[in-house]
A and B are shown apart, each in its own frame.
Chain A
Amino acid sequence: MIPGIDASSSALQVERTRLDVIAGNLANAQNTGDANGNVYRRKMVVFESKLNDALGSTGSSAGAQVRVSRVIDDPSPLPKVYMPGHPKADAQGMVEMPNINPLDEMVDMMTASRSYQANLQAIQTGRSMFEESLKIVE
């Protein structure tokens, strides 16, 4: 009924998922032992668009929705930090740390929240268009 609501709401979901993943990365920025005992690796979400089969119908289900296809580990090398007293330090006193750069995460977080806002705006516009069509019968 509201034009574009399917695409916009799918985007709200994926941007929220992305924010969750970014929050997880920031929380684990110093985590040298994750659930498997390995050093935590930065997680990344992969987006893909999903073309709706009902494309062309003037109902609510038209357009390209977006979804998270998978969450992958960042394969970039883990930085080593000199911390001799650390329980995970090797013979040279070096400890592998997660490959997380808080600055990257902050920039990603800003992008995600701005995209979320843009989609919310699209929903609001669609809703006001729908309300306008109701006013014809007043």
Chain B
Amino acid sequence: MSSGLFATPAVESLRLAMDDAAIRHQAIASNIANVNTPGYRRMDVSSSFEQAYSDAITRLSNGETVSELPEARIETAAVQGPARPDGNTVQIEQEMVNMAQNSAKYEFAGQMLAQNYHGLKLAITGQS
């Protein structure tokens, strides 16, 4: 990523955060959809993407640039909680809490990004 007017570390971090939250919502939606499916094991964002994501955020906060992240995937989570008698590992309360946190994160990043562009527009046009 080249830095410049639009690809500042802040904008890049927010963009990555939104990507991460969007893919995580798909994993959570799958888990909620399969809460009654016997033998279903809960899914999460792939650990390779998680690792690349947190590395990228660290680099961006140090003012470094990042290359493109690997494609975000969701897969069966490596760490599973206790299973119910039917073999299902989804805990609906936990999923609902995760969903609330995740959407708050997405909306926060979205609003910060909008603010960022709003500031740019203000600087360009001199009017809000």
Contact = CB atoms under 8 A, between A and B. Distances in A.
A10 interface: yes
Contacts of A11: 32-35
Interface string A37-61: 0000000001111000001111000
Q: Main secondary structure on chain A at its contact with chain B?
A: helix
Given A125-B103, A129-B106, A132-B110, A119 B26 contact: no
B37 A48 contact: yes
A25 to B, nearest CB: 17
B71 interface: yes
Contacts of B22: 3, 58, 129
Nearest to B109: A132
Contacts of B25: 3-4, 122, 125-126, 129
B56 interface: no
Interface residues of A, number: 40
Contacts of A119: 29, 32-33
Nearest to B18: A133
A135 interface: yes
Nearest to B30: A63
Contacts of A4: 25-26, 28-30
B110 A136 contact: yes
